[in-house]
Amino acid sequence: MKSEEIAREVEKLGLSEKLILVEDIWDGIARNNGELPMPEWQKSELDKRYRQYKEGKLKLRDWEGVHEEIRNKYK
């Protein structure tokens, strides 16, 4: 079935049915997220940052502080 056909069928659904469908789609993605490819450069960067974190070389910030800083920056 083509995406246009799927979209037409989805449009026929009621709101609650659409929400259930979206939930099912996200659950399917979550079950298969190990299949998502990760470029080697990204894996290397994550490994490097994790190593720095374990060695205490990374300055960590809590989300509330980051959020406040961003809000203040764009006031």
The greatest distance separating any two alpha carbons of the chain, rounded to the nearest whole angstrom, comes to 55
In the prediction, which pLDDT does 12 show?
Answer: 96
Q: State the Cα–Cα distance between residues 53 and 59, nearest whole angstrom.
A: 8
Task: Spell out the domain ranges in the chain.
Answer: 3-35, 40-73
39-59 CB burial, b ≥16 within 10 A, e <16: eeeeeeeeeeeeeeeeeeeee
> 């203040």: which residue's tokens?
72
Q: Give the model confidence (pLDDT) of 8-45 as tens digits.
A: 999 999 999 999 999 999 999 888 877 778 899 999 99
In the prediction, which pLDDT does 65 show?
Answer: 93
In the prediction, which pLDDT does 1 show?
Answer: 82
In the prediction, which pLDDT does 57 show?
Answer: 94
Alpha carbon 18 to chain centroid, angstroms: 21
In the prediction, which pLDDT does 30 show?
Answer: 86
Tokens found for residue 31: 């079950």
